[in-house]
Amino acid sequence: MALVVVPVRYPLTKHSRRTLERAIEVARERDAALTILHVDLYQNGRKVTRIDLKNAVERVFGPIENSRYVVRTGFLVEESILDEVAAEEADAVVIGGQQASRLRRIFRRFTDNPDIDRYLRTHLDCEVITVEPTRA
């Protein structure tokens, strides 16, 4: 079964809800499983549980079929996202526009090519779907 990964903030922000909504659509269109990921930063000292994340998501979207909830702890959100995508061999990752910008900056530090989509497709066989914020 195909897999879509979507990183979100907790508590869910307006943009996280929009990104998650798009990820749910992509997972349904592709008949894929969905991993909903939150990254707890060590330096913030906060502890979010999978149950916290699941309850927050289900309050907004109701139960989501073929979904799993993952909370990772790390120093860099972007690195933890890439770790999850690689570890789960995801077919697609749905990220917000701001997250895409941060990933591009990190890629520029380590490679000559900040094209995240191409890099992930080449190295991890993964598609990146970016959700831009809505304009008011």
pLDDT of 87 > 60? The answer is yes
Q: How many domains does the chain have?
A: 1
Its pTM stands at 0.87
**Domain annotation covers residue 136:** no
Q: Please tell me the distance from the alpha carbon of residue 78 to that of residue 80, in angstroms, as a whole number.
A: 5
**Domain annotation covers residue 63:** yes
Side chain identity at residue 26, one-letter code: V
Task: Provide the residue range defining the domain that includes 125.
Answer: 3-131
Backbone angles phi, psi at 64, to 5 degrees: -115, 120
Of residues 98 and 69, which shows the higher confidence score?
A: 69
CB 97 within 8 A of CB 130: yes
